[in-house]
Chain A
Amino acid sequence: MQPVPAMPKSWRLDNKPHKFCPGCGHGLILKCLGKAIDELEIQSRVVYGCDIGCSLLSWDLFNLDAVQTHHGRTTPVMAGMKRARPELICIAYMGDGGGYSIGVQHLVGAAMRNEKITVIVANNTQYAMTGGQMAPTTLPGQKTETSPYGRDAETTGLPFRGAEMIAAIVPEGAYVARGSISHLTQLTRFLKKALKNQIDGHGFSFVEALSACPTNWRTDAARTWEFVEKDMAEHFKRGEIKIPGKKEAVTDA
């Protein structure tokens, strides 16, 4: 019999292993999120919302009340829920397509209004569930199914820096950070601070997590790791960009 790996208390054990592909970043991000929830002891107050795309596979991953919504629409569902029941801790989890493309107006609206919810965007530089199309976050020259010759920045733009954009538009009280599956302790810390920001009622909290998709990237373990640590890191800096009460942004903390 195989030994059972250590899982957060807030995870459901009855339906594991989870449904993500081998090497997928979602499992790691959600493990960090589970640990943050455990450490804050908020399991009975959290409602977890997930989007369309691979993130939807997490609708029953946790021992949390949960709702799986439409593509890009998790933010308004959780914002609406929070407005109706402020004592709930509302998390909206989505990919970069949901967060930065089809749902970007909701992300902007929620950020501007300083909605007291926590939005987590997993950035794997493309649409994974649909088979690996170009996303706003795709790196220059990166090959995807809809940029088969590599993303041309001239005609399709540069990788979208969502966390920086959110940091630029949020009022005081918001928390914005970018973590990575390559630095799990830091990512857990950011997620915990984001949730704490919501619990304390300061304002909007946002964490982008750099993730990996070896299935669509068609990468082996070594190249997957390199892509996250080197290629993505060139465009997406890890660190806390906005902390309530602090003026200056801290990068690569």
Chain B
Amino acid sequence: MTEAPVIEEKRVFMTGNEVVAWAALAAGADIMYGYPITPQNEVMHYWSRLAPRYGRNFLQTEDELSAGFATTGGVMAGSKAFTATAGSGSVLMQEPMAMAEMMRLPTVTVVQQRGGPSTATVIYSQQEVTLTTMGGNGEGIRVVYSTAGHQDLYDYTIKAFNIAWKYRFPTFVLGDGYQAKMREPLTIYDPERRGIKLLQPDPFVGGEGEPGRDRPPAQYRNTYNLEEELYEKIMSDMREFEENSADIAEYESRHTEDAELVIIAHGIVFRAVREAVDNLRRQSLSVGAFRPVTLRPLPGGQIKELAARVKKILVVESAYGQIARLVKEKVCGAACEIYSMFKPGIGIAAAEVEMRAKEILAKQ
């Protein structure tokens, strides 16, 4: 249709929101639906500039409900459709995403977390973990990637489209205001030239022929009449979700083999943790780091295995225990001690993590 947007593999220096727009382009996204909210605005700004050049579309809707529901309409039509949001916009986005869960619609949503609750700050937090992983009324039949920087934003935005269309689970890329707004070097590339096959979307509706004559009508609903009917539907989706969880789940681990204390963190906080752990190792302290890359499904097997092996776990996050709750659920029953460092809505530096780790190691 048009030229490939990312032709050569190259190093670039960009803000995270710009990275998301380029990644969506590289992933073959056809259309973005969005509504302004800080700190994700520049995803729309860059996309609305890039899209017409490469034959893609953009629609600014009247609110996030509309952006999310229009995204479901786009994917049903057979387009790779996505949206981006944050904060209270994420709250509104849960209604359409609940429908996407129920109807197994492969939407892609980029969330750049800001402070909460309510309007709070436009800056940064990790307080949209519970919301993004579990959504609204339902069971959280969704995939959530938590990125730790710009290369991740590029790689996982591309991957999100493939995973969404492969499994038909609504898929989320969970970033934050720091990643959205800061500039970082990264490598952009054409995924197909790296051997990443981009999945082609199949339309849900509008197939060839006349419904009822040439084929049965394609009819989708999210309403059920009987308890048993709903139960069957949910159980079948959950089975499929759980069967594929081990394939979808991703993690990063560092020096955990011989560690007495393992620090668990996700997203950008993991970068502070990684630095802290490297410093502690230089001081001959036996500390490791573990990062769930997918927050839903969580790499539960690896967390369980860690908990069975290490004496102490420290959970660090820019929220008051949102990732900790998910981790504790997996750790439940293990003998290890669990410590926390919760700093809701504020950034975390390596030095603070280092101090907290030393405090914990000193405890008998």
From B59-67, B170-178, B352-360, the one touching the partner chain is B59-67
A80 touches B206 (CB 8 A): no
Chain A, interface SS category: mixed
Cross-chain contact of B73 among A52, A63, A76, A108 (Cβ < 8 A): A76
B211 touches A85 (CB 8 A): no
Confirm or deny: B364 has a beta carbon within 8 angstroms of a beta carbon on chain A: no
A69 touches B217 (CB 8 A): no
The smallest beta-carbon distance between B244 and chain A, in angstroms, is: 25
8 A Cβ contacts from B203-219 to A = 203-207, 209-214, 217-219
Give B116-135 as 1s and 0s: 1 = Cβ < 8 Å from A's Cβ atoms.
Answer: 00000000000000000000
A80 touches B70 (CB 8 A): yes
Tell me the nearest residue of chain B to A102, going by C-beta: B65
8 A Cβ contacts from B68-121 to A = 69-74, 76-79, 81, 95-96, 99, 103
What is the size, in residues, of chain B's interface with A at 8 Å between Cβ atoms? 44
Tell me the nearest residue of chain B to A63, going by C-beta: B212
Tell me the nearest residue of chain A to B73, going by C-beta: A80
Tell me the nearest residue of chain B to A67, going by C-beta: B220
Tell me the nearest residue of chain B to A43, going by C-beta: B210
Confirm or deny: B31 has a beta carbon within 8 angstroms of a beta carbon on chain A: yes
Confirm or deny: B57 has a beta carbon within 8 angstroms of a beta carbon on chain A: yes
Confirm or deny: A35 has a beta carbon within 8 angstroms of a beta carbon on chain B: no
8 A Cβ contacts from A1-44 to B = 10, 12, 43-44
Cross-chain contact of A84 among B31, B63, B67, B211 (Cβ < 8 A): B31
Give A34-62 as 1s and 0s: 1 = Cβ < 8 Å from B's Cβ atoms.
Answer: 00000000011101000010001001101
Tell me the nearest residue of chain A to B203, going by C-beta: A85
Residues of B within 8 A of A63 (CB): 210-213, 217
Residues of A within 8 A of B206 (CB): 45, 47, 65, 85, 87-88
The smallest beta-carbon distance between B24 and chain A, in angstroms, is: 15
8 A Cβ contacts from A73-103 to B = 73, 75-85, 87-88
A66 touches B219 (CB 8 A): yes
Alpha-carbon distance A82/B30, docked complex (angstroms): 13
Alpha-carbon distance A28/B105, docked complex (angstroms): 32
Residues of A within 8 A of B2 (CB): none
Confirm or deny: B223 has a beta carbon within 8 angstroms of a beta carbon on chain A: yes
A83 touches B74 (CB 8 A): yes
Confirm or deny: B11 has a beta carbon within 8 angstroms of a beta carbon on chain A: no
Q: List chain B positions with a Cβ less than 8 A from chain A.
A: 30-31, 33, 57, 59, 61-63, 65-67, 69-74, 76-79, 81, 95-96, 99, 103, 203-207, 209-214, 217-223
Q: A80-B81, A84-B73, A88-B206 are in contact. List 13 more A-B contacts (CB 8 A).
A: A63-B210, A64-B211, A66-B205, A66-B220, A67-B204, A67-B205, A70-B99, A76-B67, A77-B72, A79-B66, A83-B59, A83-B74, A84-B79
- Please list 29 pairs of residues, one from A and one from B, whose beta carbons are closer than 8 Å in the complex, sorted by A's number: A10-B212, A43-B210, A59-B219, A60-B217, A62-B211, A62-B217, A63-B212, A63-B213, A64-B211, A65-B211, A66-B205, A66-B220, A67-B73, A67-B205, A68-B221, A68-B223, A69-B72, A70-B222, A73-B96, A77-B72, A80-B33, A82-B73, A83-B70, A84-B57, A85-B79, A85-B206, A88-B77, A105-B62, A105-B63
